Amino acid sequence: MQGKLPQIYKDGPNSTSSNREQDKTFGLKNKKGAKQQKFIKAVTHQVKFGQQNPRQVAQSEAEKKLKKDDKKKELQELNELFKPVVAAQKISKGADPKSVVCAFFKQGQCTKGDKCKFSHDLTLERKCEKRSVYIDARDEELEKDTMDNWDEKKLEEVVNKKHGEAEKKKPKTQIVCRHFLEAIENNKYGWFWVCPGGGDNCMYRHALPPGFVLKKDKKKEEKEDEISLEDLIERERSALGPNVTKITLESFLAWKKRKRQEKIDKLEQDMERRKADFKAGKALVISGREVFEFRPELVNDDDEEADDTRYIQGTGSDEVRPSFDLTY
């Protein structure tokens, strides 16, 4: 009877170095012994580096370490160039450094990691933040809650909260305070607004009239109702129907020539009508150019008739000086 053949482990494509190490050392007894540990170390070295001698292995390890150091050095140089100036942190005596967030970590410059004595928890600042006893958080919220972010419903709610009780105590009147309306229209109304007409003692109503619409809302509605030029052209073009003449260069030039002739004919008709009114004495307003066009004989008058120069003899001397009549 033949004995069992020893099992041979072959490195497959999916086998890893850890699997090969286990296969090589499988079945060894007393692995904790010094001799067996030395053997296991040699097997592990052979699996990882093959037939390389220790000198080549040491050289490759040194090259890897050198590359890693160069990369780290380059990163440090970049951080030195671009990092902001951070002052050294100082804490009070007896305080826990872990209760203070590292200033270098906040800037992304801390290289100590877990060894840093300061905390790297950014949420610690919000947890340890002290609120001032002189500041009411509600006041800060009211200051940020301005009228710019309100709609009509929110505006009515604020008015009712601010003036609701005061309105009940006032004399019954339906007249709305003009200062109140001006503040609403000018976008100056808010939680801290005080009526210039007497504050809460103002006799007029500080409430929106029924159907009141803000100006900015009106502008939005008007803008929505506006029709663009493109939409207007398309609407008018679609209203013409399908039975229309297509525009070509020849038809466009003929239309342009016809329109120009119509304009000239209209001007001539207007000129004839004004000329007839001028002759009949009906034209009250007429330009100088039209006068010479309607009465061309005025241009052919003698030069002597148009001479407005008069000569006056001065007293006490024989000198004759010309005098010009500048009246029209």
What is the DSSP secondary-structure string of 200-255?
GG-SSB-SPPTT---HHHHHHHHHHH---HHHHHHHHHHHT-S--PPP-HHHHHHH
User: Which position has the higher pLDDT, 299 or 201?
Assistant: 201
- Sequence length of the chain is 328
How do residues 182-194 score in pLDDT, each as one tens digit? 888 888 887 778 8
Q: Cβ distance 189 to 183 under 8 Å? A: yes
Q: Within 13 A of 288's CA, how many CA atoms are on the CB side? A: 1
User: Which position has the higher pLDDT, 62 or 33?
Assistant: 62
How do residues 142-168 score in pLDDT, each as one tens digit? 666 777 777 777 777 777 776 666 666
Q: Is the pLDDT of residue 326 over 50?
A: no
CA 114 to chain centre: 42
- Confidence class of residue 262 from pLDDT cuts 50, 70 and 90? very high
Gap between the Cα atoms of 173 and 63, Å rounded: 93
Report the share of the chain in percent with pLDDT over 70.
60
How do residues 167-176 score in pLDDT, each as one tens digit? 666 556 778 8
Q: Is the pLDDT of residue 241 over 70?
A: yes
pLDDT of residue 272: 86
Q: How far is CA 72 from CA 76, 78, 79, 311, in A?
A: 6, 10, 11, 110
- The model's pTM is 0.24
